[in-house]
Structures are given as structure tokens and as C-alpha cells.
């Protein structure tokens, strides 16, 4: 009897213990307005819904208070309906778009579709915090591990010169550099995005068993998961979180000429004048450094160089030729500048080695005469105010159209670990190092917008960080080498950058360091090795968001390569003409970015479910219709290997082993391999020959043509032949239809410059092609703006081998349609 009582008592005690434990678990988390808070394995963990598709995860050592204000994230959490359910140790939170599971015992999180399909899991090893002394401040080094599916591919993390597209099995040390721009955001072929919100030096590593982010400094682990359904959707989530991309002026999509550097006002204006004389289109000219004088006056933001005696007249002369000018500005100042003298007493300069290293213009730098140049602290709002004050007074006031913000990472030479201890307005330089370009570019952008809305902000910059798309900036790939390998590297570099949610990117056409091609060839422009590389790079550049020729050692203006009727000159001119013919398509694609969070340079994996394109690093879509397959191997000359980097490349006196080769004959046809993704058919742009997707073909090439293929169902508008982007109205566009599938295209137009489009001052016309009935519907025009065409002509071409090939010639139309804004149906 006693044993029976003890047995019943033991069962009672066991049930009581189980109930108490269950109650303890049930009370071990707290529901909040955004999600839940809990403590797991000595960590405070918080899950926050920022929207139905975006979740933020915060982790920190238990009981340790911290304050985190994101430099990248602009979105405030929106009121999001979610449900919460507990099943044992697992708490599940559901919005109407996704499900998030948190294991209350291990702390492991997983992100899933509503249907229960796994998207991303934290690894069992999870998060770790290691004590770290950050310049006297007690903080942590942080690490978070994830598990990726064996077969998924990931992309993004900014721009790397790795020559690879997929980030699987990569280890990347993310510290901003001249030719590497790091953005800690990645996207997956499973349709999600992951943003690691940290600004310190960070190592990303993907191994078969675990994928991790490890940052040197962090008071907390702070990351965002976003579900998009596809890569476009994930990018849209990142832009929702960190800011949308505004419109650039139409003229920024024309052709830009630059070099290191135009040494006088007359030379700069003369280049524009020469292009107009030759009838070669040009929209922009760029003035590089030292218009301010010597290196002690570095970045004075004034024309102190006597070779620029009348900057207002210089700018007016350029404007009177219907061109625009942007100018080099830096994030550092020489000791004799007004900016340096105002900022230094206020502790707004960062005292570490930067470019230039000597006050004298000699190579190598004469360290007996240090330049004294120091970067400024863009994290400090007062410093940003001072920066704009001088920029506005010295350059904006004379009518400069945009800013070339060089060294925006910034240059960090003679690096010492103690440099990271240097204090900034937001803590140690180590803590905020990678966000430098975001703060520097943002300071200029926000101040200009506050001062004037008449002119859209246009910034060309050498580095970027998460969220920079909101500032009207186009990032270029830095001082890259003039070599075929470097050209090959630019394609995956630009595609990964674009998949980092920052849609505007470009590269120095021809590569920056080209001195190796001069030996035995004068200025190098007649060296066939450089001519071939330059033309192929030019053809690639025509299909990037900014077409800009720039470099040192060898001049890049078209007239240096010969004259009309000569092969290389004609190839360059033809490529520029092709770019201008596509301006209606390109400008409409830019609206698709602003309105629909699209991307202009598109890795093929974004649009095609084809395993062969998962790591394809030499082809891409430009917009959503044009497949670009640049020629990235020498066909007419030896593929000379040129070695240099952004520092050693400055040794312009270095002898090289580049042998002088015989003059090449560029007349004969060559060939290259092109892969056409499956799931559609394709038209050769130059011949309209049709191909079924899912196969590799051999394409005959000539020096003046780049392999281009148009997806079936595409509708592409072509603009008039012009000398600059706005020379002629788009009142007589050629509209090409590539049959074989249904298609749709939205033609966008506005006032071309200013921000009235944000108030609704723009128009769209939707073209739809019904392949079954062979009918084109031109929809009713939506919207209006000052100067809008009320009546116009559309010249319709249903492409065949005989019609609609190559650059438009104004012949062989199927229908000529007078359009007054009302819907039209055209049977072809």
C-alpha cells in the first residue's frame, strides 16, 4: 500500500515537474509588437518583423545593453500581422508571406515559406561573441553561421575582382579597397536575401558544412532576412529596407569621355569641340584631379591651377555645345586648403596614410616632402556640412553638373593596425570602416538635394556600401588593369555588384593602367594589342549603365585612334552610335529600376531556370531583352599578360617586357562561343537569325560588332541618330518586335532632368505583342509632363532576316502608326 502511494506520488511529482517546465518554457519568451524577445544560452535574442517579407534578427550577450542605429537601413518597422505558435521547443512566427522558427533550446533559427519549404537555416554552431578591446572600448568580435543547401547558388557581396560569379566555396575578406567594393548583402537562387548589418572588417566564408559572417567589431549580431520569391524580389526587399534608387538624368546614359587628366581649360573644352566637329556623339566630359594646383592644395575644390583661369566660362562653353561636365573631388584635403584648416582644429580629420603620399609630383613619391593630405570624417554631420559648403561655393556655383568622388573607400596606404584605432564621430575607424563610402557619398547627395531640385544628383564614385543606391550614385570598378583578364573580371564584378541591390555600375573602358602598351608604340594608340582590347572593352561598356572611357598613359579620345574610314575608329564610332540608338530602351529600363526595383545588368540566373547559367561569368542580360556576350579573349593579337595594381601601376617609368608586335589585320572574321539559355528562342541582333535556347553556338565576329541576342517576345524601341541624348525628340521611334512569344514593354518619358517625376510628371506607354494573333497593342498613354509629345509616329518592324537588323537605318517598316495617346491595335 505504501509502495502504491509512493508510486502515485512519484507520478504526481513528475507531472508537476513537467507542468512547471512547460510553464517555464512557455514564459521563456516575450511577445512584442514586432515579434518576440527571449534569452537563450546566455544571449538576448530578438526577432522583429519589419514587413511581411522582411525579418530582423538581433543577438547580444545577455544583459549587456547596447544602442544600434543602422547607417544603411532607412525603413521603419511597419505594423505587420503575424501569428505565433509553440510546439515543444520551437516557436513559429508567421506573417502572410513567410514562417520563422526559433528553437528556444538551441537558439537556432530557420526561415521558411508558408508552405513549409526551408529557405535558410542557422547552423547548430550558431552565434558567437568574443571579447574585443576596440581602442579602449569593451565590445566583441562576432560570428554567425548558416547552413546553405548543397545545390543553391548565392551572389552579391558587392564587387570583387575574382573572375567568378557564384560565391559558393569563396572566402572574402571584406575591407573596402580601390578595386573591391564590399556590400554585406547576398541573394540566393532560392529567392531570399540576407543583409549582415555591420560596418567593420568582415570575413565571409562559404564551406560545404557552414557559411559564415565574422566581423571584427560588433556590440550585437544584426541581420535581416527577406523573402522575395526570386532574386529580383530579394533585391526589391533590400531596396525597401535601405532606400530606392532615384532616376538619373537622361544625359548620363550617353557617352562619356575622360582621361587622367586634362591639364587645362582649353584642352577640356577642345575635346568636346572636336567630338562635335567629327559628328561623334558625346554627352559628358570629366575633369580629373589637380585643377586645384599642387598636392598641398589637394582637393581645394577651387580652380587654383593657372591653366584653368575662367571656370565659369569653361562650364558655359561645354554647356553651349550641349554637353555636361563632372569633376573630380576627393574625401581628403591637403594641409594648405581651407577645408583642412577648418576641420583639423575640430578633430574632423583621420590621420592615416592616403593618396598622394608626397607634396611633389614625382614618382616614386618623395617621402622627404610628405603631402600631409588626410581624409576627413564623413561620419560627422558637421564635417559633411563643411565639405558641402566649400563644394557648393567653389564648384556647384559655377554650374558643374555632377561629382566624380574619387577614393571614396578611401585610399589607405602604409596601413598600420593602429590606424583602425583612430577615433571618428561614431567610434573607432575599425567600427565603421566599410561604411565610409556610404557616408561620404550620402553627405554630398543629401546636401545637394536640400539646396536644389532643379538638377538631378549624379555622382560617379569608386566605392559603395549597402544603401548607396538611394543617393544617385554610379560606382565604377576602380583603377583596374588594361588586360584581357581584367576585362573578363569586370563582367562578374558588375553582376555581383548589381545583385547587391545597387543597380548603377561602370568601368574604365580600356582599363586604367595601360602604360605597358606604349613601349615602341609612341602614345600606344596605334599598338594593335591595345586597339583590340580597347574596342572590345568599349563594346562591353556600351552595355553597362554608364558608358565611360577613362585611363592613364594612353589617350582615349576617338580621334587618337585614327580617322573615319579606318577600322578601329569606325568600330568605336559604331559602338557609340549603337548606344545612342538604345537610349529609349535604356531610359525605360532605368524607370523600371526606380518604379519596380529592377536591375539593368542582369546575371542570366535572374531570368532563366537553366543550370548552365548558374555560374556563367561572361554573358548577361542588359535590361530584360538583350543578351550581351562580350568578346573577352584576344582574336587578332597576342593576349599580352600585363601585371600591375592600383599602387604599383602608378610606376609610369617602369620598363616592361611587352614585345612590339606586327600590325594586325582587323578585317578578317573570327568566331566565339555563345551560350543561349533555355526556355526561350533568340534572335541574332545583327542578322535576325533565330536560335532555340539551351544550346551553345559558334558566332562569327568582326572587330566592329559584339555578339548580341534578343529574346523572343521582346519589344525594343530605337531612338534617332543624335550627337547628344536630348538633341531630338522621340517623335519618330522605330519599334521592333521579335516574334515567337508574347511580349510587353513600357516606354517611359519625362522632363529628362529635375525631380518633377516624383510628383507624377512623366508618361508611360505600354506596348503588348500577342504572338498568336500577330497583333501589337499600343496602349493608352498614361500621365503627362511639360513638353510631352501629344502626337508622334511609331515605325513598326516585325523582325525577319530582311528587316530590323543591326542599328536602325530608317527603312523597311511594316507599319507606320500615327499615335495621339489613344490605344491602337496593329495587326502584322
Least confident range from 12-26, 76-90, 337-351, 360-374: namely 12-26
Higher-scoring residue by pLDDT: 424, 645: 424
Over the stretch 16-54, which tens digit does the pLDDT of each residue have?
A: 333 333 334 444 899 999 999 999 999 999 999 999 999
3-state secondary structure of 373: coil
8 A C-beta contact, residue 75 and residue 69 = no
Task: Give the separation between CA 154 and CA 137, rounded to whole angstroms.
Answer: 35
**pLDDT tens string 449-468:** 999 999 999 999 999 999 99
Tell me the pLDDT band of 645, cut-offs 50, 70 and 90: low
Q: pLDDT at residue 703 above 80? A: yes
In sequence order, the 6+-apart residues with CB closer than 8 A to the CB of 128 are 142, 143
Distance CA 165, CA 492 (A): 5
The CATH 3.20.20.80 domain(s) of the chain lie at 265-457
> Can you give the pLDDT at residue 21?
39
CATH class for the domain made up of 712-827: mainly beta
CATH level 3 topology of 265-457: TIM Barrel (3.20.20)
Q: What is the pLDDT of residue 654?
A: 45
More confident of the two residues 661 and 617 = 617
The pLDDT tens digits of the residues spanning 518-563 come to 989 999 999 999 999 999 999 999 999 999 999 999 999 999 999 9
How far apart are the C-alpha atoms of 371 and 355, rounded to whole Å?
A: 9
Q: Lowest-pLDDT range, 291-300, 395-404, 572-581, 653-662?
A: 653-662
Q: How far apart are CA 476 and CA 258, in angstroms?
A: 13
Ranges in the chain annotated CATH 2.60.40.1760: 15-242
Tens of pLDDT along 181-223?
Answer: 999 999 999 999 999 999 999 999 999 999 999 999 999 999 9
Which part of the chain is CATH 2.60.40.1180? Answer: 712-827
* H or E stretch covering 553: none
Q: Which residues are part of the catalytic machinery?
A: 406, 409, 479
- pTM more than 0.85: yes
Average pLDDT over residues 308-323: 98
DSSP states of 495-538: HHHHTTT---EE--BT-SB-GGG-TTSTTTTT-HHHHHHHHHHH
For residue 85, pLDDT over 70 is answered with yes
**Mean pLDDT of the 93-115 span:** 97
How many residues can be counted in the chain? 828
**453: CB partners within 8 A, 6+ apart:** 754, 755
Rg of the chain taking only CA atoms, in angstroms:
29
The rounded distance, in Å, linking the Cα atoms of 108 and 89 is: 11
Cα gap 630→488, rounded to integer Å: 9
Kindly state the average pLDDT of the residues 476-498. 97
* pLDDT value at 641 more than 70: no
Report pLDDT digits (tens) over 648-676.
Answer: 555 444 444 444 556 788 999 999 999 99
Residues 315/327, Cβ–Cβ less than 8 Å = no
Task: Give pLDDT tens digits for 230-264.
Answer: 999 999 999 999 999 999 999 999 999 999 999 99
- Among 538, 621, 620, 604, which Cα is nearest to 257's? 538
Distance CA 166, CA 804 (A): 36
C-beta separation of 690 from 683 below 8 A:
yes
User: Which residue, among 589, 502, 490, 686, has the nearest Cα to 253 in the 3D structure?
Assistant: 589
- Residue 586's pLDDT is 99
Segments of 20-108 assigned E as strands: 29-31, 35-40, 43-51, 54-61, 83-87, 90-94, 98-103
Closest by CA position to 198, among listed 211, 212, 226, 217: 217
Q: Rounded mean pLDDT of the chain?
A: 94
**Which of the following CATH numbers is that of domain 15-242: 3.40.50.1820, 2.30.30.170, 2.60.40.1760, 2.70.210.12?**
2.60.40.1760
Contact 129, 144 (CB under 8 A): no
Q: Is 65 exposed, middle or buried (0-12, 13-18, 19+ CB in 10 A)?
A: exposed
Please give the pLDDT value at position 193: 98
The Cα 184–Cα 199 span in angstroms is 9
Q: Give the model's pLDDT for residue 8.
A: 41
- Is the model's pLDDT at 60 over the cut of 80? yes
Separation CA 172–CA 188 (nearest Å): 17
Amino acid at each position: 500500500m505504501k509502495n502504491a502511494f509512493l508510486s502515485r506520488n512519484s507520478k504526481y511529482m513528475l507531472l508537476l515537474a513537467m507542468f512547471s517546465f512547460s510553464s517555464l518554457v512557455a514564459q521563456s519568451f516575450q511577445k512584442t509588437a514586432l515579434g518576440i524577445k527571449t534569452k537563450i544560452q546566455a544571449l538576448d535574442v530578438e526577432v522583429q518583423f519589419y514587413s511581411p517579407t522582411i525579418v530582423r534578427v538581433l543577438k547580444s550577450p545577455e544583459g549587456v545593453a547596447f544602442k544600434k542605429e543602422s547607417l544603411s537601413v532607412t525603413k521603419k518597422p511597419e505594423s505587420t500581422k503575424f501569428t505565433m505558435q509553440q510546439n515543444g521547443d520551437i516557436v513559429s512566427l508567421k506573417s502572410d508571406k513567410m514562417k520563422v522558427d526559433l528553437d528556444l533550446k538551441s537558439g537556432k533559427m530557420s526561415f521558411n515559406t508558408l508552405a513549409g519549404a526551408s529557405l535558410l537555416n542557422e547552423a547548430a554552431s550558431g552565434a558567437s561573441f568574443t571579447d574585443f578591446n576596440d581602442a579602449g572600448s569593451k565590445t566583441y568580435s562576432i560570428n554567425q553561421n548558416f547552413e546553405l543547401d548543397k545545390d543553391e547558388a548565392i551572389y552579391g557581396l558587392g564587387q570583387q575582382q575574382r573572375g567568378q560569379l557564384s560565391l559558393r566555396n569563396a572566402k572574402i575578406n571584406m575591407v573596402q579597397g580601390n578595386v573591391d567594393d564590399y556590400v554585406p548583402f547576398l541573394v540566393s537562387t532560392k529567392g531570399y536575401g540576407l543583409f549582415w548589418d555591420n560596418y567593420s572588417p568582415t570575413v565571409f566564408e562559404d564551406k560545404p558544412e557552414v557559411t559564415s559572417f565574422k566581423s571584427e567589431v560588433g556590440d550585437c549580431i544584426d541581420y535581416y532576412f527577406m523573402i522575395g520569391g526570386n532574386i529580383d524580389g530579394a533585391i526589391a526587399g533590400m531596396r525597401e529596407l535601405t532606400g530606392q534608387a532615384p532616376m538619373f538624368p537622361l544625359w548620363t546614359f550617353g557617352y562619356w569621355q575622360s582621361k587622367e587628366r586634362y591639364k587645362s581649360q582649353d584642352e577640356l573644352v577642345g575635346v568636346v569641340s572636336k567630338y562635335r566637329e567629327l559628328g561623334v556623339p558625346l554627352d559628358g566630359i570629366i575633369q580629373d584631379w589637380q585643377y586645384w594646383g599642387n598636392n598641398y592644395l589637394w582637393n581645394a575644390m577651387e580652380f587654383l591651377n593657372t591653366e584653368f583661369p575662367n571656370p565659369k566660362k569653361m562650364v558655359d562653353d561645354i554647356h553651349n555645345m550641349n554637353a555636361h561636365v563632372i569633376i573630380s573631388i576627393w574625401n581628403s584635403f591637403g594641409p594648405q586648403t581651407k577645408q583642412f584648416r577648418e576641420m583639423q582644429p575640430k578633430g574632423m580629420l583621420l590621420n592615416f596614410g592616403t593618396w598622394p603620399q608626397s607634396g611633389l609630383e614625382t614618382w616614386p613619391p618623395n617621402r622627404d616632402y610628405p603631402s600631409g593630405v588626410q581624409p576627413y570624417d564623413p561620419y560627422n554631420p558637421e564635417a559633411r556640412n563643411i565639405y558641402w559648403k566649400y563644394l557648393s561655393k567653389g564648384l556647384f556655383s559655377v554650374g558643374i553638373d555632377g561629382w566624380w568622388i574619387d577614393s571614396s573607400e578611401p585610399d589607405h596606404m602604409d596601413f598600420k593596425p593602429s590606424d583602425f584605432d583612430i577615433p571618428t564621430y561614431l567610434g573607432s575607424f575599425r567600427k565603421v570602416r566599410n561604411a565610409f563610402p556610404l557616408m561620404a557619398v550620402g553627405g554630398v547627395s543629401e546636401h545637394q538635394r536640400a539646396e536644389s531640385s532643379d538638377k538631378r544628383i549624379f555622382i560617379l564614385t569608386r566605392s559603395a556600401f549597402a544603401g548607396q543606391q538611394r543617393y544617385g550614385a554610379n560606382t565604377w570598378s576602380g583603377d583596374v588593369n588594361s588586360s584581357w583578364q581584367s576585362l573578363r573580371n569586370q563582367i562578374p564584378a558588375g553582376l555581383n555588384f548589381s545583385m547587391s541591390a545597387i543597380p548603377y555600375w561602370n568601368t574604365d573602358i580600356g582599363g586604367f593602367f595601360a602604360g605597358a602598351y606604349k613601349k615602341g608604340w609612341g602614345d600606344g594608340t596605334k599598338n594593335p594589342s591595345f586597339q583590340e582590347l580597347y574596342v572590345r572593352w568599349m563594346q562591353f561598356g556600351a552595355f553597362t549603365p554608364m558608358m565611360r572611357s577613362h585611363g592613364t598613359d594612353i589617350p582615349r579620345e576617338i580621334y587618337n585612334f585614327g580617322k573615319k574610314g579606318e577600322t578601329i575608329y569606325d568600330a568605336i564610332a559604331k559602338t557609340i552610335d549603337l548606344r545612342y540608338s538604345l537610349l529609349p530602351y535604356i531610359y525605360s529600363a532605368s524607370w523600371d529600376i526606380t518604379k519596380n526595383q529592377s536591375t539593368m545588368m542582369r546575371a542570366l540566373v535572374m531570368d532563366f531556370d537553366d543550370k548552365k547559367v548558374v555560374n556563367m561569368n561572361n554573358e548577361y542580360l542588359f535590361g530584360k531583352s538583350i543578351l550581351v556576350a562580350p568578346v573577352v579573349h584576344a582574336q587578332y593579337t597576342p593576349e599580352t599578360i600585363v601585371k600591375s595594381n592600383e599602387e604599383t601601376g602608378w610606376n609610369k617609368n617602369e620598363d616592361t617586357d611587352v614585345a612590339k608586335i606586327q600590325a594586325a589585320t582587323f578585317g578578317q572574321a573570327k568566331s566565339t562561343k555563345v551560350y543561349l539559355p533555355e526556355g526561350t528562342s533568340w534572335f541574332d541582333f545583327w542578322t535576325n537569325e533565330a536560335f532555340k535556347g539551351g544550346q551553345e553556338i559558334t558566332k562569327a565576329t568582326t572587330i566592329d560588332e559584339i555578339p548580341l541576342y534578343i529574346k523572343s517576345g521582346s519589344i525594343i524601341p530605337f531612338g534617332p541618330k543624335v550627337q547628344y541624348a536630348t538633341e531630338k525628340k522621340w517623335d519618330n521611334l522605330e519599334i521592333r518586335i521579335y516574334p515567337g512569344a508574347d511580349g510587353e514593354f513600357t516606354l517611359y518619358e519625362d522632363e529628362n532632368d529635375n525631380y518633377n517625376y516624383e510628383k507624377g510628371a512623366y508618361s508611360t506607354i505600354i506596348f503588348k505583342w500577342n504572338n498568336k494573333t500577330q497583333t501589337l497593342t499600343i496602349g493608352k498613354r498614361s500621365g503627362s509632363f511639360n513638353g510631352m509629345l501629344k502626337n508622334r509616329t511609331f515605325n513598326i518592324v516585325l523582325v525577319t532576316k530582311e528587316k530590323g537588323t543591326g542599328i536602325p537605318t530608317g527603312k523597311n517598316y511594316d507599319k507606320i502608326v500615327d499615335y495621339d495617346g489613344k490605344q491602337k491595335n496593329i495587326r502584322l
